[in-house]
Amino acid sequence: MIKKLLFSFVLIAVFLAFIPQLAKPTSTLKTVFRLTEQPAVIVKGTQGSALTINISFGEKEVEELLEHLSQPYPLLFIDSDWASRFPHLTEQINKRSLPIALLGTEGQHYESDPKLLSKQLQTFEELFNTRPLWFRTTDEEFPLALLQQLSKAEINALGSTVQWSGGTLPKASKGEIITVPYDHHEQVATADIQRLIASRTFQSVEDLLFRSTVKTKKIPQ
């Protein structure tokens, strides 16, 4: 009788211990992931289309852009210095839970300043209260030392298949990653971005890559 009571007590204790775990929400997407075994730059999948926008300049222009975005949202690569200057836009991005990633500077800057990436990451995390899963340099040049830093931090280097600044729409290709600039030199009009969005069915970068064989660019030596 005593053994049965002890056994029942143990079962109840184990059940109560697992209740909080059962109540936790599950996620089909890990918070941090690594798509390649070795440091490399992801530039294309094999199916679908994904849209990314590099934002490092502008206030009213970006505000107009954000107002017109609808699901499926493009992946916004955000310059942390730009985000620091416009907290109201940062708040809007956070409030709408728009997909974001970290936009760096030119690749060569990370060779001359090995601490640059960590500084940008810290600012990004303070502003958005999250660690980016994706990183891109403005010129899409990724020195080996930078790729190694990203790999250690479990952040993916994402390039693009097409860089589009307006005008004639690019011909659709399977697995394409299209980049649109919003920087000091180029800002694509919201109407042009809407024209691009209407030209094909876009999906998230994660869907583009997780459902396909990832294509990468060789690591610079």
Tokens of 28: 């089909």
Among left, alpha and beta (phi > 0; psi -120 to 50; other), residue 109 is alpha
3-state SS assignment for residue 180: strand
Residue 6: partners with Cβ closer than 8 Å, 6 or more residues away: none
pTM: 0.80
| Domains parsed from the chain with CATH numbers | 38-217 (3.20.20.370)
pLDDT digits (tens, 9 = 90+) for 145-192: 999 999 999 999 999 999 999 999 999 999 999 999 999 888 899 999
Q: How far is CA 50 from CA 3, 33, 213, in A?
A: 61, 18, 15
Question: How far is the C-alpha of 107 from the C-alpha of 24, rounded, in Å?
Answer: 40
Token reading at 115: 């601490």
- pLDDT per residue as tens digits for the range 102-128: 999 999 999 999 999 999 999 999 999
Q: Are 205 and 52 in contact (CB under 8 A)?
A: yes
| 179-213 tens-digit pLDDT | 999 998 888 999 999 999 999 999 999 999 876 44
pLDDT at site 221: 47
- Reference 107, options 81, 146, 157; nearest CA is 146
Q: What angle do CA 36, 217, 177 make, to 5 degrees?
A: 90
